[in-house]
Structure 1
């Protein structure tokens, strides 16, 4: 089993724990770095869809970025809502070992990351309109590489990523490796409605729940009961596990 999650825009440098390995697609990351460095400021700002302050910060990052030095473990580098609720700073060694084997972070810049792969702060979303090496965008640039790495040696994949990121692997996974989704929502007028921030919180809590319990099968996830969510057999279907608040 593998678990996929999205990265976060906000990143930090953290030397509390050492990184273990370089990311597996570092050569392709290097090509992205070369392409970004060659772009003028106005195009970078448009690509990043941000204000001047954030654009200038990330321009400085590009200018000084060394992909092999001063690295932070990926799982400690991201600061988004999902990671705050995952709370990696307080994982035990056993829980870190569980995640190192199973958790994979999808990234527009790095491709696919294990928790202790060393990274530098960057800004590049998977859906960014960036043409590289003849590929029209990052989905085409990464192609089937990420799905192939994800499917190697596993029998199913748990999708805790946003649609933007899961789209990078979904259509490339072999039929023998099903993608199982978790839906975190509320029932409103007979429909299951997902709310962005609550979904991110629940995805982080689900990762923590799995690491703490050693979950290995889809049915193991049905015991998840955090943030007011409960598994709903009535709303769930094959390869889609639905958790509702207030039920």
Structure 2
């Protein structure tokens, strides 16, 4: 079983908490993308990143000063988004860290597929960015089936905790004998199940922590997840989609 998650836009450098173990598996491909970005002018980069001037200046400076092989941060500590805050890898036990190193994979526009202890630098590049590199019209074309093929060398059961923007680079290349189990975190609203972005990110982080604490190796164990007021909804779920409904006191109602 492998768990896939999305990266986060906000990143930091942390070379002190614990060291990285490996260079990313697709470092040559990442370096090719990175060199392409370094050749772009500021206006083109700002448009690609779709951000304000402050963020654009920060990331342009990173492009000009950082090296993909030096001053690296373990990937699991480099991302600062909501999902990672709720995962809270800084306080994982040794056994929990070993669990995520074995089971967790982070999808990335720049690096492709990361293990938690792969060394990375701060960057800004979403998978859906309109970046043409050579014959590849975008990053989905650039990575093609490479990421899915590498993941399938490790497992035939993938637990999907990634956003669609990222999970599609795996799902569109899977064979029929591979199980892709997607977790949905929603609320009941007017007879429908509605997902809310921030709550989903929180739940995905909590789910990774939950699985690490229990050292889970079977996808069926996911059904017992009960954090943030979520409960498994068997009537809404199927073999390849586990739906968790958020219920209880303190919820907003329409």
TM-score by length of 1: 0.98
- The equivalences for 1:1-247 within 5 A come to 1-15=1-15, 16-246=17-247
Range that drifts further, 166-175 or 206-215 = 166-175
Provide structure 2 residue ranges, at least 5 long, that are not aligned to the other structure. Answer: 249-254
List structure 1 runs of 4+ shifted beyond 6 angstroms.
Answer: none
Superposed displacement of residue 88, structure 1 = 0.3
CA separation in 1, counterparts of 2:215 and 2:72? 28
Structure 1 residue runs without a partner (length 5+): none
Cα distance, 1:218 vs structure 2: 1.9
Q: Report SS of the residue matched to 1:172.
A: coil
Counterparts of 1:238 and 1:219, CA distance in 2? 10
Show CA shifts across 1:107-144 (max 9, x none): 00000000000000000000000001210000000000
TM, length-normalised to structure 2: 0.96
- DSSP 3-state at the match of 1:169: helix
Superposed CA deviations along residues 167-212 of structure 1, whole A, max 9, x for unmatched, are 1111112222111000000111221110000000000000000000
Residue of structure 1 equivalent to 2:251:
none
Give the distance between the partners of 1:10 and 1:29, measured in 2 at CA: 19
Q: Distance in 1 between matches of 2:104 and 2:247?
A: 29
CA RMSD in angstroms comes to 0.8
